[in-house]
Structure 1
Amino acid sequence: MLYFIKLMYQAFLLPPGIFIFTLLGIGLWLWHKKEPGWRLVIVATCIFYLFTTNFMASLLLRPLEQRYIPPAQPAGDVIVVLGAGALADVPNVNGTGQVSDYAANRLLTCLQLYHRLGVPIIVSGGKVFQSSGNEAEISRTTLVGAGVPADKILMEKESLNTTQNAQYIARILKSRGFTRPILVTSAFHMPRAVAQFEKVQVAVTPYPADYQSNRRLYLTIFDFIPSADALDKISLAWKEYLGLLAVRWY
């Protein structure tokens, strides 16, 4: 019973489901009144619905996330972890500032790799917006609080996007003599990140983290229920596909 209530609540009362069923109702009312344009409303509603489901999100994300597989025995002389946004003034255990959920998952994988390999870490990411925090500084504080020695962490804190991540990190790698970087970023972001590092002649070992979809396609009824989370994942995937097209120019 609770399962059924949750299903109905998520489908009919939460956005975007409530908007989809409202549009569907308008389309059916126009059809009943034999008003022109009802077909357009119904078709647009169906397309909108499809792009709010986890089924479609998985179809779009899985080709990105499965491009690279984490090596069973990773080896390198430095771990490079890319930022993904940060809040500047929220409370944290150590000072203020907090990385985004995507960045936190990347840092967790980075931390696990550090405890296995013991190599230095480069955290990358600047202050993208006036209201955001400096990603590298907050990432460093987070890692130190999790037990990584401060002298094991280098910061690249000027980059504002993936292109600059690669460019500025390449300079640090060259100046410090690192030649075998392990790149940690979200699995959906890894193809674009690798492409940017290739542009600056840096060969990386990809270690994807922060997966947003299963490697196998598991389907349940909830994968076909409209979801704001699915809409967000589809937006992520779409951004990456556009970014891959733009890599050759920027």
Structure 2
Amino acid sequence: MSYIIKFIYGFVLPPGIFVLFLLIVGILLYRRETLIAKLLFITAFLLYGCTIPLTGKLLIQSLENRYTPPSQIKGDVILMLGGGATLDTPDFDGKGQLSGNGANRLLTVLRLYKRTGLPILLSSGQVFSDSGNESEIAKRELLSLGVPKSKIFLENKSKNTEENTEFSKQLLNKNGWHKPVLVTSAFHMERAVLDFKKNNIDVLPYPTDYQTSRKLPLYANQFTPSTNGLAFLAAKEYLGIFSLQF
């Protein structure tokens, strides 16, 4: 029953209700305005296809499967890319918290540090006026989790992946690090690796923050329009990857 209710909700709330509206209008207009009706049907189909969870999961999974966490860590620094943060929300020992993507990356960094003892380079600044400085927040949280201050290095000015690479390279060269263990979300890893390669930096990819399971069973809610946004997230990554080919 709960699955049925969720399926119905998918067509009562946006974006499902827009798909339903386009279909109904298309049916009503079909005899009088066939061309317009067909355009409405096509639009409804495209909107439906872009907003069902299955589409987003398949697209994201194709990105997430390109790299797997290595069994052996052969690097000289752990390099984490930022993934979003709030500016002034309350935290245990200050203000501002990492978002879900950033927090998952930080958790992986902490575990890698405990396994290897490698220094940590945090790369990300304040992207928007209402978002926090991700590196500064991540540093505070790592310190509260027991990582020594001497092990944490900051690149806190970058606003995108391209700047992550450019500004991190300066600190890598300054400290004599040649093989960073790159930690970022699995869906973002392909684009990040290409950016670092473009700047002649050889990284060891360590993907984390997976958005999908390896197995994707089919059930009704996989075909219910949703606002999860995975398809659009994947599209952004594919566009970024495409742009790096030139």
Residue 181 of structure 1 is matched in structure 2 by: 180
Q: Name the SS for the 2:21 alignment partner.
A: helix
- Superposition map of 1:226-237 within 5 A: 226-229=225-228, 232-237=229-234
Q: Name the SS for the 1:188 alignment partner.
A: helix
Rounded Cα–Cα distance in structure 1 between residues aligned with 2:65 and 2:153: 29
Residue 22 of structure 1 is matched in structure 2 by: 21
Conserved in 1, the CA contact under 8 Å of 2:6 and 2:221? no
Q: TM-score, normalised by structure 1?
A: 0.93
Residue 154 of structure 1 is matched in structure 2 by: 153
Q: Percent of aligned pairs with the same residue?
A: 46
Rounded Cα–Cα distance in structure 2 between residues aligned with 1:25 and 1:142: 52
Residue 237 of structure 2 is matched in structure 1 by: 240
Q: Which sections of structure 2, spanning at least 5 residues, go unmatched?
A: none
Rounded Cα–Cα distance in structure 2 between residues aligned with 1:213 and 1:140: 28
Residue 56 of structure 2 aligns to which amino acid in structure 1? A
Rounded Cα–Cα distance in structure 2 between residues aligned with 1:198 and 1:22: 47
Residue correspondences, number: 245
Residue deviations 1:5-24 (CA, integer Å, cap 9, x gap): 23322x22222112211221
Rounded Cα–Cα distance in structure 2 between residues aligned with 1:242 and 1:221: 30
Residue 90 of structure 1 is matched in structure 2 by: 89
Residue deviations 1:219-243 (CA, integer Å, cap 9, x gap): 22211111100xx111111111111
- Superposition map of 1:119-198 within 5 A: 119-198=118-197
Of 71-80 and 179-188, more deviation after overlay is shown by 71-80
Conserved in 1, the CA contact under 8 Å of 2:121 and 2:155? yes
Rounded Cα–Cα distance in structure 1 between residues aligned with 2:42 and 2:113: 51
Q: TM-score, normalised by structure 2?
A: 0.94
Q: Which sections of structure 1, spanning at least 5 residues, go unmatched?
A: none
Q: CA deviation at 1:55?
A: 1.3
Residue 82 of structure 2 aligns to which amino acid in structure 1? G
Q: CA deviation at 1:63?
A: 2.0
Conserved in 1, the CA contact under 8 Å of 2:104 and 2:209? yes
Residue 198 of structure 2 is matched in structure 1 by: 199
Residue 176 of structure 1 aligns to which amino acid in structure 2? N
User: Pairwise CA RMSD of aligned residues?
Assistant: 1.4
Rounded Cα–Cα distance in structure 2 between residues aligned with 1:75 and 1:15: 47
Q: CA deviation at 1:248?
A: 4.3
Conserved in 1, the CA contact under 8 Å of 2:3 and 2:220? no
Q: Relative to 1, partners in 2 of residues 1:195 and 1:132: Cα closer, same or farther, differing over 3 Å? A: same
